[in-house]
Amino acid sequence: MQDSLLRAIEREELSVLYQPQLFLETGHAAGAEALVRWERPEEGLIPPERFIPLAEESGAILDLGRWVLESACRQAALWQRSLRGLRVGVNVSVLQLEHPGFPGVLEEILRSTGAAPEGIVLEITESALLEHERRATEALWRIRGSGVRLAADDFGTGYSSLSYLDRFPVDYIKIDRSLVRRLETNGERTASLLEALVVFAHSLKMRVVAEGLETGVQLELLRGMRCDIGQGLLFSEPLPAEEAEAFLRERL
């Protein structure tokens, strides 16, 4: 699979879907997260959970990640003209972030696509970041300095630490869907935890995004605790760009 992963880009087997995000208070469009898909002629759709780890092992993640970033920035540049103020989130592997060339690659992509840096949010998985702290931190500060926004992805899994939020220049916290689910099953305890997290995040001028939002009960609880943004099947599954655009345009 490693070999074909490297050729997937030239064979045009990769595509990017966009999952809409809405402001919880108003229901207005906030943005979308770019999610890569790999469709192989023989096997059909291979989920990113399967091929991203392989790409990280082989180093193909650098080319793959660059391709996704460029696709998402090209799309973001279009939407910045037609759908003002929307932000596009792009998942970035910590291996990309650690690569000394990454900030330069990002700046070059922003230039060539014409995407405004303020409209791009790089999503970085929190636990990965903690493992690679020293080199990644330098890159993050440089990237943040260029105006690109940063999100701590999958927050609440692994070994989340609040001090992480103090050390990294993060603009968004994305609450992992396992925590969102526990809001209903674990009740008050999880609710208190998230409520405190939102207060803490807001005091540091960060916004909180809830992932994997599936039910109206979850929505009402999160809205009540002033969580800013939601993303999940309750609103929309990940969609091809044109469909995501139509969804967001109706909610501007």
Chain positions contacting Na ion, by CB under 5 A:
153-154
CB of 225 to ligand G, least distance (A): 19
Nearer to Na ion, 70 or 154 (CB): 154
Task: In angstroms, give the least distance from the CB of 3 to Mn ion.
Answer: 27
Contacting residue, 56, 123, 171, 245, with Mn ion by CB under 5 A: 123
Q: How is residue 85 written in tokens?
A: 């103020």
CB closer to ligand G, 4 vs 127: 127
DSSP letters spanning 36-74: EEEEETTTEEEPHHHHHHHHHHHSTHHHHHHHHHHHHHH
**Site residues for ligand G per CB under 6 A:** 19, 35-36, 47-49, 52, 65, 68, 91, 93, 153-154, 177, 211-214, 232-233, 238
- CB-based contact 227:21 (threshold 8 Å): no
69 versus 77: smaller Cβ distance to Na ion:
69
Question: Which entry of ligand G, Mn ion, Na ion, none binds 238, CB below 5 to 8 A by partner kind?
Answer: ligand G
DSSP characters over 183-238: HHHTTHHHHHHHHHHHHHHHHTT-EEEE-S---HHHHHHHHHTT--EE-STTT---
Our CB check for Mn ion shows the closer of 123 and 171 to be: 123
Question: Minimum distance between the CB of residue 128 and Mn ion, rounded to whole angstroms?
Answer: 12
What is the chain's alpha carbon radius of gyration, rounded to the nearest angstrom? 18
CB contact set of 182 (below 8 Å; sequence gap of 6+): 190
Q: Are strands 172-175 and 149-155 parallel, antiparallel or unpaired?
A: parallel
**Of 56 and 153, which CB lies nearer to Mn ion in the complex structure?**
153
Per rule CB under 5 A, is residue 91 in the interface with Mn ion? yes
Binding site for Mn ion (CB under 5 A): 91, 123, 153
